[in-house]
Amino acid sequence: MSETVPAPAPGPTGVIHDIGYRHYDGPRLGRGSALAALIVHSLRGVFGLGRTARAKIMPFLLAGVMMLPAVVSIAVMAMIKRPGLSYPSYAVTMQAVLAVFLAAQSPYLVAPDLRFRVLPLYLSRPVKTGDYVAAKLAAMAIALFLLVAVPLTTLYVGELLIDLPGPPHTHDYFAALATSVVYAVLLASVGVALASFTPRRGLGVASVIAIYLLSSAISAVLVGVLFSVSRDSAAAWAWLINPFFLVDAVQVWLFGTSPNNDGGYPPGAGGPVAAVAVLAVVALCVTALVLRYRKAASS
């Protein structure tokens, strides 16, 4: 009779795989560094840096278009030895390009995070809802400021190098540079707020463009109608419906520059009212953004 051989003991069923995880022992930089990193990451994304080549086409193409009038103006100044494009009028002249840039890039800042539901990862710790909103607004505002400030600075440096007769237009340059901050903050607040209400980038682009076209059209139609019936004072107020002329009225009030429209702005209270309107729009947009992201973070 054959001898029974005992069955071998079962081997271990669990296997530990080395996936390369290493514990982090470095310094904890905290909330401020996280906020700065988010701003830099968002700003790079606005210009397509770190993204595909196709993502870089639109922002750099629009940046080139913004530079074109400055370059042409420098060439004209060099040939005829006369001042070129006015600094305070640069943003108003290029308002369509700024609106397209805002519409094209602001949905990138917010739509993917909403669509793929990664917002809770940002808001775990130490970044809070207010930090996230501030980072996105800061990135968009910095991008818009650079879009205006770089051509203005190029134009001013060109004027100094050409050495035109008479003193350089330093006051107008710094007035336009300071006003560029107001343009950037107002436009970024409106654009990011509108884009945050939909996770689809196409709808975000359409909403920003629609608001710009609607405000411009209403302003232009009202101004034309009121001028035609000799209501010049009311027409001066109608210019302020357009956000670019609204900021231009603030520029005229603060720095004494020439108005960049046909009929000017309301004398006296027009400048302070425009400034209060800018602050009110920014405050409304920021409040809407904070409420929107509090709801998105809790869902």
Q: Could you read off the pLDDT of 91-122 as tens digits, one per residue?
A: 999 999 999 999 999 998 988 888 877 777 77
Please count the residues of the chain. Answer: 299
Look at residue 190 in the predicted model and tell me its pLDDT: 96
Exposure string over 228-261, b if 16+ CB within 10 A, otherwise e: eeeeeeebbbbbbbbbbbbbbbbbbbeeebebbb
The amino acid at residue 28 is: R
Distance (Å, whole) CA 266 – CA 108 = 38
Look at residue 31 in the predicted model and tell me its pLDDT: 84
CA 57 remoteness from chain centre:
17
SS3 state at 100 = helix
Average confidence score pLDDT of the chain: 90
Distance (Å, whole) CA 299 – CA 189 = 24
**What are the C-alpha distances in Å from 193 to residues 140, 146, 218, 227?**
11, 20, 21, 34
Exposed, middle or buried: residue 290 (CB in 10 Å: 0-12, 13-18, 19+)?
A: middle
Q: Could you read off the pLDDT of 166-180 as tens digits, one per residue?
A: 889 999 999 999 999
Look at residue 28 in the predicted model and tell me its pLDDT: 77
Distance (Å, whole) CA 29 – CA 47 = 26
Look at residue 138 in the predicted model and tell me its pLDDT: 97
Q: Could you read off the pLDDT of 223-250 as tens digits, one per residue?
A: 999 999 989 999 999 999 999 999 999 9
Look at residue 229 in the predicted model and tell me its pLDDT: 93
Look at residue 251 in the predicted model and tell me its pLDDT: 97
Chunked in runs of 10, what are the mean pLDDT values of the chain (299 residues)? 58 62 74 90 93 92 96 93 91 96 93 80 79 94 97 95 88 97 98 91 92 95 93 93 97 95 89 97 95 81
